[in-house]
Amino acid sequence: MMKRQTSVHSSDNDKPSLRVRYLRQFGRDEEGGVIVLTILLLVVMLVMGGMAVDFMRFESRRVVLQNVSDRAVLAAAELDQRVDSKEVVLGYFRSENLEDAIVGEPVVNDKPGDRSVRVESQLDLNTLYLRLIGIDELSAPALSAAIEGTGNIEISMVLDISGSMGTTVTQENGTTGTRMSLLRTAATNFVTELLIPEYRDEISISLVTYSANVSAGEGIYRALNTTPDTILADDTLIDTSDVPALEEADPSFDLEALDPVTNPSRCIEFAPADFATTTFDTQRQYQQSARLDHSNTANQFTKPRCPEEDFQGIVPLTQDPGLLTATIAQLEPTLTTSIHLGMKWGVSLVDPSMRNLLAGVEGVDPAFAGTRPAEYTDNNAAIDTKKYVILMTDGQNVRGRRIKDEYYDDPYWRRAFTNHPYYHWSWYVNDHPQGESPSLNDVTEYPNSAAQQDTWLQQTCNAARDAGIVVFTISMGAPEAGARQMRQCAYTESYFFDAEDEAIEDVFSSIAKQITDLRLNL
């Protein structure tokens, strides 16, 4: 009796000990641990794989939406189609069951000869797997705009009028003539093709002609802060633009009685740093260039280094085809080639830094005065202003000769070389107070090499490219070195034209077409 009671009591006391042993054994048991890790990794893999699936679905729908959007605006901007442009856009979206994806309404700007269409859309896609990490929806946006016609366009035509433009050539299409005569025809056709009534107030063209230098023209030259251009008999330097004020202040003032000699040069000297930027510093004072040929024959300078005819000066910001074609018709070959100077002026005339200065220059079209050159990017404008430079040459940079700095302000020097169409070296010798007989090399120098001028050219081309200015370049039978500079200067390889393979007229026509063709514009 007592033994059974003792046995039963002993079994009850052992139960907690058994539980402890079982729990300890379970805690030490590693069987099945991989299953737990596998389950955790499976969840992660499922989410990652699902993300790829959702993103592929998203990108697929985004591409469909963008393609529909692009096709819709291109078709709607086409000038030849007569259906309402908004309906054209909606029709394309309906065909893909994406009409509800359009945000707001298509924006249409329709003017004679010009149409732009812009549409914004967004497609919301429900996720399958990303919702496991809290992302229930992805939004696929699309934005497209297209223009046919012109939009707002600024063009600088930079034309070579160096002496070699008088060379007679036969082009691939059989056209024969001097390079200058062929250029005149091509440039005239280009102007008349672009400046038509349908593009009124949209296209502005500035004409820059260059040889050894570039004449800014009377208007721009007077708007700039330049050094005095006139010497009086007492060696006083004044600016002829100040004469009206002098006459008003002193009614007895008589300029002619003071034996004035005026340097007619309307060219200015740039600093090396000027070529590394598209900006034109309108505040600083510019040195007036000397009036001197690059060489002399029989002790006589027959052509000024700075072109002096009115038609050789810059024609800024105009939409008058008559003015441009009349100017182009008078162009004749002159001296040597300074491509870098033509390019510097070309980019300056589409750079906003010139806007205020040009606003008061005579000859600038009233539609553009004070508004152009426009900013490079205007986020508030429906259509940005496109800026182009067309740079052509038949040669290569040639180092230029100029008066040494120590002689430039010598009144006797300036007197000798500014008061007659022909500049006899003997005039300087006879007028010099010491009766010296200096040689050409005594008073002139080559301030820089052709290689340096090439470097400045490419610096300006790079600055233009960085600013978003599209540069077309044309080699019209230029030597290898010149053609290479043109190729490097172009916006891209496809914007370089070799007019030996194509007629120059065809080249300009192709450029005009590229400027006005239908294009996507974002």
pLDDT of residue 330: 97
Q: Is 371 exposed, middle or buried (0-12, 13-18, 19+ CB in 10 A)?
A: middle
pLDDT of residue 506: 94
Mean pLDDT of successive 10-residue stretches along the chain, which has 522 residues: 46 63 69 67 71 83 92 89 91 92 90 81 84 81 84 93 93 86 96 92 96 95 92 83 91 89 89 97 91 54 78 97 97 94 98 96 95 78 78 94 68 58 46 57 81 98 96 96 97 93 90 83 57
pLDDT of residue 298: 47
The candidate with the shortest Cα–Cα distance to 292, out of 449, 422, 411, is 422
Q: Give this prediction's pTM.
A: 0.74
pLDDT of residue 16: 62
DSSP readout, 172-225? Answer: TTS-EEEHHHHHHHHHHHHHHHHS-GGGTTTEEEEEEEESSS-B-HHHHHHHSE
pLDDT of residue 3: 47
Q: Which two tokens stand for residue 506?
A: 């065809």
pLDDT of residue 125: 84
pLDDT of residue 380: 47
Q: Specify the 3-state DSSP secondary structure of 141.
A: strand
pLDDT of residue 301: 56
Binning the chain into helix, strand and coil, the percentages to the nearest 5 are: 45, 20, 35
In 405-447, which ranges are continuous DSSP H helix?
A: 405-408, 411-416, 425-431, 440-443
